[in-house]
Structure formats: C-alpha cells, structure tokens
Chains A and B, each alone.
Chain A
C-alpha cells in the first residue's frame, strides 16, 4: 500500500466519523424507562502475548433512562470491561471485535479517536471509580479541579464556574463549601473525597453515571450515606446509573434492575425482586446462598468450588457447568439461549427449557427475607 492510499483511507475515516458526530443528538425527549443505550451482540477481545482473550462474549443489553442497573459478578467476569467499552476506555490491547452500541442515534463502536470520544466521555457518560484518590489530582485544589470541568465542557467563565462548583459541592453534602473550595484532596476524608468526585462527575449534567465499586473502599456508615446520595441525585438530575459491584447487599440497597455476569456473559437479568426472590440461574443461586450475611451460625455456608474457565480458550457449553452442582449433560455441549422468564426477567440456563428435569433450588433462596428480618431486626427497633 503506498502513502497516497493510506492518506486517502485516513481522511475517509475521519469524514465518516464527522457524520457520526453530527448525528449525536440529545436525549431530552426520552422519558423515564425509555431505552437510552442499546448494546447488541458485543464481543470484546484483548490481545495478550499473541493470544486472544475474549473478555465479553456476546452481550446484548438495553439500559433504560433513569434506572439504576447493577452489574454483579466475581472478579474477572468482565463487569468493568463492559462499562469501559461504553466510554471507549479499553486498554490499548483491547478492541470491540463484534457488535454495536447505539446511543443518541450513533453507533459508539465506530468511534476511534480520543477527540471523538471526548464528546461522550465525561460529558455525556461520567464515571466514578473505587478509590477517589486516584481520580483526584493531589497537587491541585478541589475547587480548580471542579471548575476545570465546568469551564471546559459548559463554557462558563471563571466566576460563574466557581458559583456553579460551590453549589454542586453543597448539593453533594460538603459542609462549608465556600471555604473547602480552596482545600486540597488530602484535607478531605475518604467519604468527602468520594462526594467531590461525584460532584465533578455531575458537573456536566451527564446522561449516564457509571459507578465502578464506588463504596468498596469506604466504611459501612459512609457507604450507606454515599448510596443514599447517589439515589437522591439520580431523582434530582434524572440521569441513569450503571452500578458495578460484587456486594449483593449493596445491590439490594440501590438497584432497580440487576445483571449477573459470569465469564464474560450476562447469565441472568431482571428486576432486583426477580433476582433476589426468584433467581433461576444456578450461578445466581450459588452467589446468593454463599452470602455470609445470611448464614446461620450452626450451618455450613454454601460454597462455590473450582475456578471460572479461562477465557483464552473457546468456552464450550455453559461456562458455569464445571462448578455447578445441577449441571446437565447438555450444559457441557451447547450454550443455553437467554430464556425469557417474564417481561423483565431473563436467564441463560438450560434448566428453563421445558424438557429439563425439575431441579430444587438451595433452601436458603426462599428464605432470604425471613433470614434478613431475623438477623438484622435489632437495628430497626424504634
């Protein structure tokens, strides 16, 4: 290929992407519950030493406006990769090898350069990470870090940006916001830092807020406050929350809908009630019944044996079959389709096939509410 051809190709690419950018519409016309992001057959691969690791294996997911969607799964199940795909922040060795992501009338998988992503990342889809200290610059004052975002994305002048920043800090619950505007991150406590990060994330009025384990590094009492804050801000600003966590207690606390991920796939998707009171996938059963929170003192906890399959290889059949106590022959041969349980509830297991034998769920599944009431009633006494 000669230089001319390469050059031609490049300009072509940027032209087509300009088209994509122009079409990026706003989502103000959407009502609560309308689909805001639609992922279709997404597959993400990473190249590691000449081998391909398939981190996301064919995921289709619709995310609705103003909902809190929790993504649960053990480490390595691909929950963070899925959200990174959404903001184009995959590591250099990773790429979307198949599928489409539709958002505001554009296909995000067509985006290639950082400049293109800048219109989405931070501006339309903001992210909060686990450790607030990694998101904040330790050498700059809190105030300048917030006003930077406001001035860059919303074009406010210095004084306006300052007023806006202070009102945001007040809104996320920072006392004495006017004076703390001039403090450095180290002068804030862990919970307060996470509040600042939330304020920065909200500075551009994003459509979608991705929370990647935002409370894992915090103490329980602070965690409860941050969860409450996210919920109330969601009502006020009307954004959509994608909440990544491995803590099923936190999920129950915050989520409207839950997606359970295992080995790069969504194995079960439903409302929080569906997942906690009527789970269908053996992996969801295992996750719920192994919770130490629900264990009674004299009984052994249910535990998941083995390890997830290596995603360097092609996974044959159900990825969880090796570790499942109720696996059938077909689980080792053929992958189950996503069966529909109800309008809101889907599960990827052959157990839902009409030909499958009846399998008893672990006993603990039916008793969750009773157990919780039994164990934690003390704190609620008035």
Chain B
C-alpha cells in the first residue's frame, strides 16, 4: 500500500521550480537568437515497477541557423529528448522553449499544430518511415494538405516540384512509390517531405546511418545546401563522433541519460575534458592505417563518478562539463 502511495505522490509532486511561459529569445552572453532552449528536462518511463530515467536535467540551447549535434551510444537518451521536443514524449519536469514559448506544458490544439508546422523530423531509415502505399506526390504533399498551405492544385504541384528539384529528384518521380527508389533517393524523399512545409527546426535522427557509404556524402552535402538556402536549424543526432564534426557547429555528448559535455565542435575534438568524451574520441576508427599503432584507446570506466550528484559546470564560456570542481580540475590537468 505504501509503495502505491509513494508512486502516486511521486507522480503528483509539485515541481519545485516554476518555469515561466515565455523567455527572451536573445542570449545575453553573445547576442545570438535562441531558437530552442531545453531547461532541466527530465523524461522518465515506467516499466512495470521500475522507473527508467531516460533523460536527466538536460540543458542546452540551439541558436538559429546552426547545426547542433547530439552524440551518444545507444540507450543514452538522445532520441528520447528529440521526441520530447516534438511532443511525443512528455517531460516529467523542466521546460522546452521554442522561440521563447514553453512547448512542454499542455498546449491548445492550435498551438500544438503550429509547433508541428515549425518543427519537422528526418528519420534514420527512409524505407521504414515512408508510407509504402502512397506515391511520392502524396507523401510530399501530405504536410501541405494538413496545414492547408496551397490555394489550388496548381499551386500545390508547383510547391512540390520546387522542393523535388531542390533535393535533386525528377518530376516524373512523383507518380512512383517508395520501393521503386534507391536508399539515397528515398532519404531525399524523406527530406523533401520534411522541408516542403517550411519548418524552422529540423530534427535529423541519424539520417545517414542506414545509408550506403557511397551516398552518405551526397545526403550530407544536400542537408548543408538546404540549410543555407532555407535558413534552417538542425538538431543532428548521431551515435558516434566520426561524422558529426563535419556537420555540426556545436556538440553535446550524452551518456546514460545525461549530457556529459557540451561545447563548440572544434573545441570538443581538440580538447575533450570529460573522460567519456575522450574514450569516444579515441574509439573512432580513423581512416589512416599508420595512426593505429600510436593511438591509445581509452576505456571509459565510470567507476565512482556519480552523474546524479554532479552538476553541469561552465568551464569556459559556453563550454559545459558534467562533474564537480574537484573532478574537472583532475580531468583538465590530464
């Protein structure tokens, strides 16, 4: 009985911190415009009697026009937080501000719809995420129908053809079905589908992991090109550090539901502080046979580092590490 009551109490416990409904969108530190801000976000899942803490006190900002990379091993919570941003998972506590508005609370239907318009996703496996019984025309236009973004059929086709051209597909592809395309082309359809309704933020969840080596470069080039043309902001999720440097401006490294390190992409690669980041960096298979002998592969031993007791400390401007002062001093001296 008491266990049950505890559970209830746990559920309805009032939040200690009250998050305002809106926050300023200009970062006072550097004057850049913040598109998305995640504040003390916690996501938990109840599995039977156990509680899985998938995301714990996540804090990060994504500036307008940048690519923010989220790296971590499987099960580290990177997809969970991206699903929380789009509203599929609910926060246990904390807030998510999109353009200054809290979108993690209960929203009206119209507000929710407008967020879906502004935030879109690109998925890992286009073969699984595209409707295989719909032709390309419908797949791409579906968003336009949902948001009533066209005057007449001509206007709709014009919009569809424009985006099709931008992702280097041909007008005759419109009447075909997803199974008729190669992996790279399917991912292009997935990108066209996401971008046709002109979102502001795109959550790209491992968009190239399922693709063949020879076409990864094409898709990365395309994503970069579209970013400048449409003034897009990306949240780019990947499971290792090897490709994320090329695409990201800033990187957050996640481990077991915590962000252990966050900062400028170059800075993280050149000067990793947290031992997990260092282990992740040395584990990357580098395309250079002679480097393998003089490289020390670090194994990350979590040991007595207790993430729950550690705090997110700003070690230099906009560079954060999860730890305590003593630990960070130790890591930085290495």
Flag whether A378 is at the interface (Cβ < 8 A): yes
Which residue of chain B lies nearest to A271 when distances are taken between CB atoms in the complex?
Answer: B289
Number of interface residues of A (CB under 8 A): 52
- Decide if A292 touches B218 in the complex (CB within 8 Å): no
Query: What band does the interface of chain B fall in when counting residues whose beta carbon is under 8 Å from A?
Result: 35 or more
The residues in B between 199 and 215 inclusive whose CB is less than 8 angstroms from any CB of A are 208, 212-215
Most chain A CB atoms below 10 A, which of B182, B212, B217: B217
Q: Are A273 and B287 in contact (CB under 8 A)?
A: no
A273 and B296 form a contact (CB under 8 A)? no
CB distance from A27 to the nearest CB of B (A): 27
- Say yes or no: A292-B242 contact (C-beta < 8 A), given A224-B283, A300-B221, A301-B221: yes
Residue pair A272, B269 in contact (C-beta under 8 Å): no
Which B residues are CB-close (under 8 A) to A288? 287
Which of B278, B282, B294 is most buried by chain A, counting CB atoms within 10 A of its CB? B282
Chain B residue, CB-CB nearest to A249: B285
Q: Is the CB of A219 within 8 A of B73?
A: yes
CA distance A303 to B278 in the complex (A): 30
Closest chain B residue to A368, Cβ basis:
B288
- Does A276 lie within 8 Å of B289, measured CB to CB? yes
Q: Residues of B contacting A251 with CB < 8 Å?
A: 287
Residues from chain B with Cβ under 8 Å of A372 in the complex = 286-288, 291
Contact indicator per residue, chain A 216-231, by CB within 8 Å of chain B (1) or not (0): 0001110111011000
Q: Cβ of A294 < 8 Å from any Cβ of B?
A: yes
Is A253 part of the contact surface with B, judged by Cβ < 8 Å?
yes
24 A–B contacts, CB within 8 A, in A order: A219-B240, A220-B241, A220-B242, A221-B283, A221-B300, A223-B283, A224-B283, A224-B297, A248-B287, A252-B287, A253-B285, A276-B287, A276-B288, A288-B287, A291-B217, A293-B287, A369-B290, A372-B291, A376-B291, A379-B272, A379-B284, A380-B294, A380-B295, A382-B334
- Give me the 9 closest cross-chain CB pairs, A-B, nearest first: A379-B281, A249-B285, A290-B217, A301-B217, A272-B289, A292-B243, A219-B73, A372-B288, A224-B283
Other A-B pairs beyond A378-B281, A379-B272, A380-B296, 11, CB < 8 Å: A219-B74, A224-B297, A252-B292, A293-B246, A293-B286, A296-B246, A301-B221, A307-B182, A368-B287, A376-B269, A378-B270
A-side residues, CB < 8 A to B, are 74-75, 219-221, 223-225, 227-228, 246-253, 255, 272-273, 276, 286-288, 290-297, 300-305, 307, 368-369, 372-373, 375-382
